[in-house]
Amino acid sequence: MHRYRISPNKSVKLSDYDPKDTSAFDGDKDEAEAKLDELTNRLESLQELLFAEHKHKLLVVLQGTDTSGKDGVIRHVFEGVNPQGVRVASFKVPTSEELDHDYLWRVHKQTPGRGEIVIFNRSHYEDVLVVRVHNLVPDQHWKRRYGHINDFERTLADEGTTILKFFLHIDQDEQKERLQARLDDPAKQWKFNVGDLKERLLWDEYRRAYEDVLSQTSTKAAPWYVVPSNRKWYRNLVIASVLVDTLEGLDMHYPEPKEDLSQVVID
């Protein structure tokens, strides 16, 4: 899956990445589902080990345009993990208290503690995406935030947090199909937001904003992955594979019991 990882200081053009790509898996959809089951079972075991060892922390950042599949990733990739050690943080319109602080204040409070996995469903990157596209602050403000974010993530990494960032890459035609599916299905209409159509008109502006984010904030300590996401099953396979590989690379071990159990007999 390293083919999707963005090297530090690489200039990214999303036109170089095919959102329909499925080249890392040779099987059909049924085989893909079986492989995903295998990966999610392994992820469940690794998450339990992470929680028990209580040493490492994992932050997973999910970003993408509307309908790119952030909720789907959380639902399918993390379906078997123990909720005791995993939580999801979403960042909506800032509250009055949050607006009284710097823009990273509310984000820092949500980062993982030891033994925990935290998933950001959207994230601090909204402050160089939505803020930029909608001209909510002067250009010089959001441009300097790339440096702020790199420093922030480097601090987290230096203090023991493993960071994985996934950009869920879909094309405009796929977004149209997914929006139409929401509109046509009464069980999904609750997810349809007319405001998403206005955001869709800004597709090119968001694309340029994402290219700058990927170019300027993919670092060794906090890499970005551009995940082909037109095919939902493939998107889930890529992300699950990266998560499992990363957690296995932490060389985790169950802690020793706090006392000698060799003579314990349960009647």
Question: Each residue of 12-38: pLDDT tens digit?
Answer: 999 999 999 999 998 888 899 999 999
- CA 133 from centre of chain: 21
Residue ranges per structural domain of the chain: 2-22+29-248
* pLDDT mean over 226-233: 97
Q: Give the mean pLDDT of the chain.
A: 95
Q: What mean pLDDT comes out for the span 113-122?
A: 97
CATH 3.40.50.300 fits 2-22+29-248, yes or no: yes
Q: Lowest mean pLDDT: which of 2-6, 93-97, 173-177?
A: 93-97
- Looking at residues 42-68, what average pLDDT do you find? 97
The model's pTM: 0.95
Percent with pLDDT over 90 in the chain: 87
What confidence score (pLDDT) does residue 11 get? 97
Give the C-alpha separation, 179 to 182, whole Å.
5
Read off the pLDDT band of 141 (50, 70, 90).
very high
Residues 6+ apart with CB under 8 A from 63: 70, 122, 123, 125, 129, 165, 166, 167, 168, 210, 213
CB 107 within 8 A of CB 71: no
